Amino acid sequence: MTILLDAYNIARSHGTGVATYGRNLARAAAGLGFEVNLMFGTRAGHSRKQPLLNEIALAEGDDGQSEPRKRRALALPGQVAKATGGVLGTRQAREVSLSGEVILPPALGVPGARYWHTPQLYELANAAFRATGRMTRVALPGTDIAHWTYPLPVKTPGAANVYTLHDLVPLRLPYTTADHKRHYLTLCQRIAREADHILTVSEHSRADIIRILGVEEDRVTNLYQSTDIAKLMESVSPEQIAQEVEGLLGVGMREYYLFFGALEPKKNLARLLEAHLMSGSRHPLVIVGAPGWGSERDVALLKQLAELDTEKRIKWLGYLPRQTLATAIAGARAVMFPSLYEGFGLPVLEAMSLGTPVITSATSSLPEVAGEAAVMVDPYDVRSIARAIKAMDDDDSAVAELGQRGLVQAERFSAGAYRERLGEFYARLTGTASRLPHDARPAQPVPLTKAHSA
């Protein structure tokens, strides 16, 4: 069976939860023995005379484009005409053959995958949808399933078109995202009508999709998510982690709290900072994350605290490479993730996978992921968060116990369990159960269990 996956987020230079989802999905499909095709849509054109440039475009993504060109990309009349004209016909994907001369980023490496490119596909498709309300068609003959890992106004004729809607945060917490809400709602409603099936990553998100978009229950499936972050630390001893943490942060292992993720409104960083100071914790709070949309107040607060905090109780590191981030997670006393709303909550799973305790919110999908392996708080109540920090400060045995519970809970979301769920879904979608590998059997759903409260 042949699977087409968009590389809309996979190709981004800084990792995101959606990018991680796409990479894990591609590797799971390849692990099931399916032919995986990755569809790129960078701003670079497709060169027939210099095929090496096509490989370079995949490796470079859109980072090589100058900012002025990015800003005016769809302001030119010719670009607008190209965008709207594209929906009237079918755009043809062109394969990018890999010579091996260009070293692709590790995130783009999927065993046995084939790489395809349709210049500016996703940028122009979004512009065309805004102008006409129609989906852009892109052809890749022989495709059984076109799996779009994000709400994109694109479809492949002749294939079963599946769309992953991770959450409906732009509609439920509109003040926390930069999305154009009318466009987002219209696009999600179109996907709800036209998709052969919709996937999501939690039972909470599934309920939102069914209720708000009016999708029939049998057309929405939750497969949850997975993470491979533990592989980065498989051969690293606790002694080495402690040494690396000391060098990176200047503190000992299990002697700091960690928040990681993009700095954006739904992450609730201001309340977390206030709660940490209120708790009087002797352990510093380390913030790992680059500024995102709407982060101006959080950044200003972090800078102000840096000036006033003579004891260095708050440390902001900005963006860290994934290997270094894994080390920071593995050495933390606990990961703090009091988010206001999540479709899944990947940082919670990543922390549990590395045996690190978690303090997170008793809202949205987070109790599904955390199970009984985390301390749950009210994300809107600073005192609730502060109590959780204080309790973790004073109880080394609870830290050890929660770390062990996290490892057990994380197994429910293992790569093998995810691959089985994905294989069973693809088989049901196309009626090819007899062609599936023997081990691609339906997995039991992850139960929603009662979590600890602070």
pLDDT of residue 57: 86
pLDDT of residue 68: 37
pLDDT tens, position by position, 257-316: 999 999 999 999 999 999 999 999 999 999 999 998 899 999 999 988 888 876 778 999
User: What residue type is 305 in one-letter code?
Assistant: L
- Spatial CA neighbour of 53 closest among 112, 110, 102, 9: 102
CB 116 within 8 A of CB 40: yes
Q: Tell me what the mean pLDDT of segment 97-122 comes to.
A: 87
Q: Would you report the helix, strand and coil content of the chain in percent, each value rounded to 5?
A: 45, 15, 40
Residue of 45 and 335 predicted with greater confidence: 335
Residue of 54 and 146 predicted with greater confidence: 146
pLDDT of residue 10: 81
Q: Which residue has the tokens 């809107």?
A: 380
Q: Residue 36 carries which DSSP code? A: E
229, pLDDT greater than 80: yes
Please state, rounded to an integer, the average pLDDT across all residues of the chain: 88
Q: Which residue has the tokens 């004209």?
A: 85
pLDDT of residue 242: 97
DSSP labels, 52-82: HHHHHHHHHTTTTS-HHHHHHTTTSHHHHHH
| pTM, rounded to two decimals | 0.89
Label residue 105 by pLDDT band (50, 70, 90): confident
Q: In what order do the strands lie in the sheet with 375-377?
A: 314-318, 285-288, 257-260, 334-337, 358-361, 375-377, 452-453
194: left (phi over 0), alpha (psi -120 to 50) or beta: alpha
CA distance 25 to 110: 10
Lowest model confidence (mean pLDDT) among 46-55, 84-93, 210-219, 242-251: 84-93
pLDDT of residue 79: 61
pLDDT of residue 420: 95
The continuous run of DSSP H or E covering 84 comes out as helix 77-86
In degrees to the nearest 10, what's the CA dihedral of 211, 213, 218, 219? Answer: -160
pLDDT of residue 152: 96
143, pLDDT greater than 50: yes
Domains recognised in the chain with CATH numbers: 2-164 (no CATH), 229-411 (3.40.50.2000)
If DSSP codes are grouped into helix, strand and coil, which group holds residue 145?
Answer: strand
438, pLDDT greater than 80: no
CA distance 88 to 438: 43
